[in-house]
Chain A
Amino acid sequence: MKKKMLLCLVIMIVFILSSPAHAASPISSSKLISDAKKYDGKSVTFQGEAIGDVMKRGAYGWVNVHDGEGAIGIWAPMSELSKVKFLGDYNFRGDIIQVKGIYNQACEEHAGDIDIHARSITVIEAGKQVNHPVDQDRAILAAILALAAIALFIAEKRLKGRQIRMDRV
């Protein structure tokens, strides 16, 4: 009986320790911003798409990471930031990265920035170039409208010319 109880206890402890809440599951940007006091100075995991630019500042740098709700600035050593190969913009889907580090509601080092000082950055999913095939229906509509605009331009110029001639007469 005692052995069974002990086994149950061990299973429960293992289950609790391996549950998502303790496995440092990513926290959303909206939660980090709205519950900023709760997470301030704590170790957090944040995950999202690296967007824009990696902005190098000496041995460290910034990258902004967007999790679909909002973006947060990540301050990290360049050795970690160099793992980021794709940055999200119109032509690219950026790398999905997981950041582990200390969250600051008003960072002392960066004069009040909301940021995460990253200990580690892991690329979860590599980014890629996004193809934007030309929308042919839209292109046809554009051509028709452009032709109509040119026709009206010519008509207006002729009308104007005729009016000037009539005024002279």
Chain B
Amino acid sequence: MLLRPRAIDLKIIGFYIGKLILGIGFIMLIPLTVSLFNSEWNPAIDFVIGSSFAFIVGYVLQITCRTKKDLGLTHGVLVVPIAWLAAMFFGAVPLYLSGHFGSFLDSMFEAMSGFATTGLSLTQDLDHLSYGHNFWRHLTMFIGGQGIVVVVLTLMAGGSAGIYGMYVGEAREEKIVPNLIHTARTIWMITFLFFGIGVASLWAAGWFIGIPSLKALFHGVTVFMAAFDTGGFTPQSQSFVYYHSPIYELVAIPIMVAGGINFALHYALFLGNRREMFKNTEVKSFAATILLTFAITAIALSQVDAYDSALAIFRRGFFHIISAHTGTGFMTVYGSQFPELWGSLAMTGLIVAMGLGATMGSTAGGIKALRIVVAVKAFILEAKRLILPSSAVVVEKYHHLKGTTITDKLLLNAFIIGCAYITTYFVGAVFGIFFGNSFADAMFESVSAAGNVGLTSGITSPGMPDLLKIVYIVEMWAGRLEFISIVALLGFAISMVRGK
């Protein structure tokens, strides 16, 4: 029998959503500062409106939903998907006020694309967007990549079972250190370490390729946020085509890869455990699928004579495979060149890379390497059971920070999430085909949205049908949160209506 949620449950959820909305309001003070620094008065006003609006709604929820009851695990899981929709809504306000979006739906698309670290963009005339608004687009990626809840967790003093529910709801299960608040702070420490190195490298590369130093710093900060959080927005409309530089691409590649690596592994390396990098099965799987998908793409590009030299094939092919596999979405070719110049086999290589995604506990989307490892190991396990005598004890293990035995529970989890991703990829593709796109283009765009990648075959544009924009928003949202918390939210909504 379904139980209708009590008023107190709604109050608890409302209270914590209010807290997260307040967090969004506070974070908007950063682009407000950027606007003021650049004497951009109208954008500054946009951020005052956006931030104040978030504060008003956040405080109203804090006052009306105040309760002494603690956040439970279920509440925590439910808060996350609603909070992400709220973040999309409030994050879209200053973007819409910029005048660079055709509708509020377009600005919500942009905000969700940012928070979900996808990188598909509907900004019009991006090259004339203010520094403040442009910074906000990239900051949404930084916040979303780290996890909106992780950001707020670090601001909270205490913790409860519900906080863990929120953490899990945001597609993070692994605690890097035993305490959850310390885990959130460790994630930030690792991020800021990379931030320093990454921004300095991109700044130097930008200056070296001819961008004035202050502007090169802006490019460095924004591109780092999009690369490390595997987002894919860029400050200019041409993505990485703008830079015309192998040096800039070379600097971005390790940042994207670092973003695609599990934070727990970063922490192990930080503690001096370098051997883990070579022992970790997930990393090996990630490296193997990078090589495999690059091989497919490189063979396809040489078959269709897309480029004159092996160097050009390597430069374009490898960059895009890294961009796709880590879920970043930076491009060094134009979207329409994929079907026109690269052809369907090379696109297949990219689709596979996007669909697989990077590693668990990273900022990337997609199915993820560890689930592929579990599926392959389970397959081997079954094959061994068939071949070996029935009395033999057959065990399969993988190494991820510690040795783990493949269990039915692990396999079921990998199977459910993997199936959910594949179903979403196909459903999104059906909508794309319905609106007159080819199967290859529609599948490419759908996998890019649900895998939170951001590469485009050219479908995503301000002129695309509103329904398709909504479908991609849902795909980005569901893909980023890895479905479970959204299914819980659906169950909650049903119990509200049909529960007793």
Residues in A lying within 8 Å of B, measured CB to CB: 33-34, 36, 51-57, 61-62, 64, 66, 70-71, 73, 75, 88-90, 105-106, 108, 110-115, 132, 134-135, 138-139, 141-142, 145-146, 148-149, 152-153, 155-156, 159-160, 163
Question: Within residues 144 to 158 of chain B, which ones have a CB less than 8 A from any CB in chain A?
Answer: none
Q: Which residues on the A side are within 8 Å of B128 (C-beta)?
A: 88-90
Q: Which residues on the A side are within 8 Å of B334 (C-beta)?
A: 33, 70, 114
A66, A105, A115: the one within 8 Å of B244 (CB): A115
Q: Are B242 and A153 in contact (CB under 8 A)?
A: no
Q: Are B127 and A113 in contact (CB under 8 A)?
A: no
Q: Are B52 and A149 in contact (CB under 8 A)?
A: yes
CA A115 to CA B59, docked complex, whole Å: 52
Q: Are A112 and B312 in contact (CB under 8 A)?
A: yes
B3 at interface (Cβ–Cβ under 8 A)?
Answer: no
Q: Are B59 and A64 in contact (CB under 8 A)?
A: no
Q: Are B60 and A64 in contact (CB under 8 A)?
A: no
B49 at interface (Cβ–Cβ under 8 A)?
Answer: yes
CA A12 to CA B486, docked complex, whole Å: 70
Q: Are A112 and B307 in contact (CB under 8 A)?
A: yes
Give B67 Cβ to nearest chain A Cβ, in Å.
10
| Chain B interfacial residues counted at CB < 8 A | 54
Residues in B lying within 8 Å of A, measured CB to CB: 25, 40-42, 45-46, 48-49, 51-53, 55-56, 59-60, 62-63, 66, 97, 127-131, 209-212, 215, 236-238, 241-246, 306-309, 311-313, 315-316, 332-334, 336-337, 340-341
Instruction: Given A134-B45, A145-B48, A156-B59, decide whether A71 and B127 contact each other with a Cβ distance below 8 A.
Output: yes
Q: Can you report 12 A-B residue pairs in the complex whose CB atoms are below 8 A from each other?
A: A33-B334, A36-B340, A52-B127, A61-B210, A64-B242, A73-B244, A108-B309, A112-B308, A132-B40, A132-B41, A142-B52, A149-B25
List 17 other contacts, CB 8 Å, given A53-B212, A71-B238: A51-B127, A52-B127, A62-B244, A88-B127, A90-B129, A111-B316, A112-B306, A113-B241, A113-B244, A113-B332, A114-B333, A138-B45, A142-B45, A146-B48, A149-B25, A149-B59, A159-B63
Give B185 Cβ to nearest chain A Cβ, in Å.
25
